[in-house]
Amino acid sequence: MREAVLKNNTVLILYFSRHGSVAALAEKIAVGVVAAGATAMIRTVPNLNPDFNSDYPALHPLIEKDELIQADALALGSPVRFGLMAAEMKAFWDNTSDLWLKGQLIDKPAGVFTSSSSMHGGNEATLLGMMLPLLHHGMVLLGIPYEEPALHQTQTGGTPYGPTHVSGSIATTLLSAHEQQLAISFGKRLATIAGKLS
Ligand SMILES: Cc1cc2nc3c(=O)[nH]c(=O)nc-3n(C[C@H](O)[C@H](O)[C@H](O)COP(=O)(O)O)c2cc1C
């Protein structure tokens, strides 16, 4: 963290996760948010798949749109689904045109995170795609600067576009040390910039 936050801002960490990997990243981002002196509000979105057979019990409440308006910053997470964000998360954003019409998210800092099973399975493409609705809403996008040593060192996940986890073929939710470090650093940065902008 470069500077302390100026007041107790709230960072909304909004994610979808089927097997817990994205949820594990969300928890680490929250650690960074809290370390920077801000409040972490973790929320999820409803499952849409009728065949859904998750081994991950959702631990966090479903998002209410007012919470998105009230938050000072946003970290948005989804698993990679064929190189894109999950339909569940896309459906959430497809239902935000009322906020868009009123410009209610303009100038809020935001960033994105994801988990893929394979190293080159589309995690960066997914992160970039997740940024697009946030840009349409006028949000201020943040990634992870290369001053963070783990970004140079990682042999697992973690990108300048946002935190990632490579869960592997057995879909482990255990994050590597570098993945954890980058998620924490990202949370600190979101909280710090939110404090500067508010
Ligand atoms: C329908 C579907 C599509 C997927 N597409 C990809 C993909 O394109 N590339 C990849 O590496 N992993 C892909 N995966 C694997 C998930 O992204 C990966 O297991 C991720 O870690 C799951 O996150 P979660 O544990 O939070 O649900 C896909 C999984 C599903 C169910």
ipTM of the shown complex: 0.99
Residue nearest to atom 4 of ligand 1 (CA): 81
Question: Would 96 be classed as within a structural domain?
Answer: yes
pLDDT tens digit sequence for 124-181: 999 999 999 999 999 999 999 999 999 999 999 999 999 999 999 887 889 999 999 9
How far does residue 150's CA lie from ligand 1's centre (Å)? Answer: 24
Question: Would 162 be classed as within a structural domain?
Answer: yes
Transcribe 95-113 into DSSP letters.
Answer: T-HHHHHHTTTTT-EEEEE
Question: Would 1 be classed as within a structural domain?
Answer: no
pLDDT tens digit sequence for 26-83: 999 999 999 999 999 999 999 988 776 665 667 899 999 999 999 999 999 999 999 9
Cβ 125 under 6 angstroms from ligand 1: no
With b meaning 16 or more CB within 10 Å and e meaning fewer, what string describes 47-60? eeeeeeeeeeebeb
Question: Would 4 be classed as within a structural domain?
Answer: no
Question: Would 2 be classed as within a structural domain?
Answer: no
Domain extent for 190: 10-197
Write the CB contacts of 72 (distance below 8 Å, at least 6 apart in sequence): 9, 10, 11, 38, 108, 109, 194, 195, 197, 198
Question: Would 3 be classed as within a structural domain?
Answer: no
Ligand 1 closest atom vs CA 23: 26
pLDDT tens digit sequence for 2-11: 344 445 799 9
Cβ 21 under 6 angstroms from ligand 1: yes
Number of folded domains that form the chain = 1
Question: Would 5 be classed as within a structural domain?
Answer: no
**pTM for the complete prediction?**
0.95
With b meaning 16 or more CB within 10 Å and e meaning fewer, what string describes 3-35? eebeeebbbbbbbbbbbbbbbbbbbbbbebbbe
